[in-house]
Structure formats: structure tokens, C-alpha cells
Amino acid sequence: MRRLCASGPSLIASSVVLSLLVAATATPSRAAGPSPAPSACPGNPNALGTSRTLVVDPMEHARVGVMQYRETLPLEPKEVVITFDDGPIPPYSNRVLDILASECVKVTYFLVGKMAHAYPSIVRRMQAEGHTIGTHSNSHPLTFHKMPIAQAEAEIESGIANTAAALGDRAAVAPFFRIPGLLRRDEVERLLVSRGLMTWSADYPADDWKHIPGDEVMKRALERIEARGRGMLLLHDIQPATVLALPGLLRTLKQRGYKIVHVVPASPDQPKTATLPEQWMGRRGASGSGNGGSWPTPAFTIETLLADPILPTYDPKNVGVIDALGPAPVLARSRMHSFRAPAHAVPLPPEPVWPRHFDDAAASRAASQPVALPVPSMGSFGQDQDFAPASPVLGTAGHAALLPPVPVFGPGEARPTLGPRLAALKPPAGSRAPSAHAPATTPVSLTPVPPPTTAAPPLPAPEPTGAAPRGLLGRWPFSTSAMPRL
């Protein structure tokens, strides 16, 4: 009994270990992606932190963001995804990273290729601190909605290549892409899908590119987050106003019970998070918007979303672009200068709206190779006489009634070679039309000659054979194609 009691603690410990091993082998492992980040943040026990990691498949959901698309990220109420565009650039990108590290918040970056090439150390720091790195083209042109598709492809690929070179690994670049200025186009989006890239719009911006103070950036961001209750926030880490607004924004989100979600692409090591299709659909926020319903308020975007599954490209002026169609896009510096045209004049497009798809090469060919239509013949008007003025040759003054009747030939009778009416017009033997080049025998008088009052001279007797007069052929404006060749 004593021996059993003495060995009791060891037996109990062994049974506990055995039960734990059995439970571990019997419990199936979860396939819901990486575990959420720990709630404790070193040096800041009251930090906002990152509540969970959402793993998405770019090929399954190719376009997200209710500002333009019918789908958005499958977030629960009070969940927010923070994204940053246009970086990196010191010192603002460094300060944003410091603030995010102090709150243990993970975000998604959309980097410009030239900026990543210029400041690779900041890009490597973003990766080292666990942020997701997407791309935002190579030079951030505001012409993705109209540039040739080959140029758009070069911008996309160069941006990815420069970001990958900064990281030293192309696989480290997430297949996430945001179109500069959100100037979407169907052809570009199909190109992104063919490259395996996921197009990100946003659910709401904070207008931090509009040169407004930091407190105004924070105010607009919180109003739009509250209006929708969840969603994807668009910020810019190159703006000083964003640096000023970010600490207060994160603290207020913590106070109001919001949580931060980190989004990463699916991979063989990280399977996608299990979601339902309806979770990706855009839905209304918890409360209405109080700023008039104009873009880009969530209330307006959702109402338009219900009417049209895919929202059209919004007005570029809403992102601070005055003239996005010009050769050099002009950015607005204040609300007082919204147009370059003076005196309320409507700015004209740089190229004519009509005609569209006009073939200049075909037009030049048509101009250099004109098509000359044939001159209509007498038969085209249903007449059988020449409408030329009276002449000594014709002697008909253009009246068909003065021509001799068409003779009728019986069977076996010989027909004239020239035809009945053409032979009737042959002048008598010995007569000849005056030549235009013959010298004048009488002096020219400038006194007007009154028109003759006598009737037209009688027609000469028809002759069955003979040559047709040359004056009959080629009388303008009729063609000789309908007349017999002699």
C-alpha cells in the first residue's frame, strides 16, 4: 500500500501525459490559415493589435472593394483592413511603420515600382515587420483608363519587378494590385486576371491626398468606417497628414471596439480561409451617412451597387485630378480651383469626340484615288435625242418631235448600217459643218444680234448609208458610251 501510494504521483503524471498525447493525435488539425497574432504587444499593453489573418485566393475573387465592385473582403462587423498606397518615401513611410509597430498592426502596402527601387531598405523593413506588399504600377500614371494595353502591361510588370528586386525575391511580392487613381478599365482588369493578380479597389478613402489637415483625415476616416461598420480603408503613407492622423485613428478604433484584420494571399503553406460566397457581397453599413450621399460616401456607393453590379469609373476630380485626359494630369491644390477653364466655361476635350474609330489611312487613300463616275448617257433620262443646242449639223434645236419617224422593216428587208435615226441626221452630200479653226470672213460686230424669228430649217432627207457627223459624238454633258462607234 505504501509502495502504491509512493508511486501514485508518478503514475498520475504519466497518465496525464498519455491522455494529452492521445487527445493531440485524435484532434484533427485546422486548415484555416495561420493562427491570429498574439494580443499582447511588447511595450504597449493597450495596443490595438491585429485580431486575425485572412487568407484569400486571388483567382477565386479577382476584384474587391465596393467603391467600384460588387465584392469586397469577407469581414465581420467591427473589422477593418488598412491599406497604404504610393510609397515608400522617407521620412513619412518610416514614421508610419513606427506607428504601426507601436500598435502591433499589420497592413497591406501597394508600392510604386520606382519608389521601391529608390528606397529598397524601407521595402525590406515592411517585409521584416510582417506587412503584406502588393504593387501599384511602376510610375503611377493616371492614364490606366485610356493608355494602350501594352503600356499598361509594361507598367504592371515593371512595378512588380522593381519591388521584387528590392526584396530579393519575387515570391515575396503578393499578387495584389491597385490601379493608380482607381481609374479602372475592363481590358486592364482582364489583363490582371490573366497574370494571376487580384485587383483591389477600396470600401472608403480618407481623402488624405487632398491637402487637408490631419484631424480632418481622421474625422473622415472614422465617419466612413462607422457608416459602413466594417471594410477596407484607403490611406497614403507618403502624406504628412496621414502620419499626423494615424496615431489618433488607431487609438479611437481601439476605443470603439474595432479590430484589425491582416490579409495575405493563399499559398501551399497557407490555405485560404474558409468563407461563404455571400460573405464577399457588399452590404449596407450599420448606420446612415450624414454627409449628403455624394461620392465617395458608403451610402452612395452601396445604393449605386444595388442598381449596377459593376460601378463605372468615378469622376477623376474626386481624387484630386482636374484634367486626367490631358497629356500631363493636373492635380487640384484647393477646392477653389476645380477647373482650368475661366468664366464658367466648359473645358473641351483634347481630341474630337466624333467620329470615333475613324480610319485616317482609308481617308487618305480615298482622297488620293478619287472615283470618277461615268457621265450619264441619253438613255439614262428615257430620251432618244441629244439635248445639245441647235447647230447646222443637227438642225433639230433639241426637239425630238422634229426627228423623222422610226421606220419599220419587214422580214428579209435590208437594214441600214447606222440605224434609222442616226442615218436621218447625216447632212446632204457636199455640205460640211464650219470648222472651229476656219478664219472669219467677216469682221466681228459687237452689236447684239436678235434671235431669229423664223422656224427651224427643214430636216435633210435621210440617207441609208454614210458616216455619222462628228459633232453628234461627245456632246457635253453626255457620254459617248451609249453611241455607236463608227
Give the tens place of pLDDT for each residue, 47-93.
999 999 999 999 999 999 999 999 999 999 999 999 999 999 999 99
- Greatest distance between any 2 Cα atoms in the chain: 168
Distance, CA of 70 to CA of 202 (rounded, Å)? 11
Task: Identify the band that residue 6 occupies on the pLDDT scale cut at 50, 70 and 90.
Answer: very low
Task: Assess whether pLDDT exceeds 80 at residue 420.
Answer: no
In 3D, which of 168, 171, 91, 182 has the Cα closest to residue 136?
182
Q: Which residue has the higher pLDDT, 171 or 468?
A: 171
Cell digits of residue 205: 478613402
Q: What is the mean pLDDT of residues 91-117?
A: 97
- Go through the domains of the chain in sequence order and give each one's CATH number: 52-331 (3.20.20.370)
pLDDT, residue 301, reads: 44
pLDDT, residue 413, reads: 72
Pairing of the two strands 321-323 and 330-331: antiparallel
Q: What is the mean pLDDT of residues 160-166?
A: 97
pLDDT, residue 38, reads: 47
In 3D, which of 253, 234, 221 has the Cα closest to residue 72?
234
Cell numbers 481622421: residue? 218
Q: What is the mean pLDDT of residues 304-315?
A: 46
Cell digits of residue 113: 515600382
Averaged pLDDT score across all residues of the chain: 72
Average the pLDDT over each of 68-72, 159-163, 474-478 and give the range with the smallest value: 474-478
pLDDT, residue 391, reads: 45
pLDDT, residue 251, reads: 96
pLDDT, residue 190, reads: 95
Residue 117's CB is within 10 A of a number of other CB atoms, namely 18
Q: Is the pTM here over 0.85, yes or no? A: no
Q: Which of 210-219, 310-319, 410-419 has the highest mean pLDDT?
A: 210-219
Q: Which of 74-78, 371-375, 376-380 has the highest mean pLDDT?
A: 74-78
Q: Which residue has the higher pLDDT, 356 or 322?
A: 322
Distances (CA, A) of 285 to 74, 159, 226, 315, 408: 14, 35, 8, 24, 98
Task: Identify the band that residue 143 occupies on the pLDDT scale cut at 50, 70 and 90.
Answer: very high
pLDDT, residue 377, reads: 59
Residues constituting the chain: 486
Q: Which of 65-74, 300-309, 429-438 has the highest mean pLDDT?
A: 65-74
Task: Assess whether pLDDT exceeds 90 at residue 147.
Answer: yes
Residue 296's CB is within 10 A of a number of other CB atoms, namely 19
Average the pLDDT over each of 58-62, 155-159, 268-272, 433-437 and give the range with the smallest value: 433-437
Distance, CA of 452 to CA of 456 (rounded, Å)? 9
Task: Identify the band that residue 314 occupies on the pLDDT scale cut at 50, 70 and 90.
Answer: very low
pLDDT, residue 410, reads: 72
Q: What is the mean pLDDT of residues 305-333?
A: 50
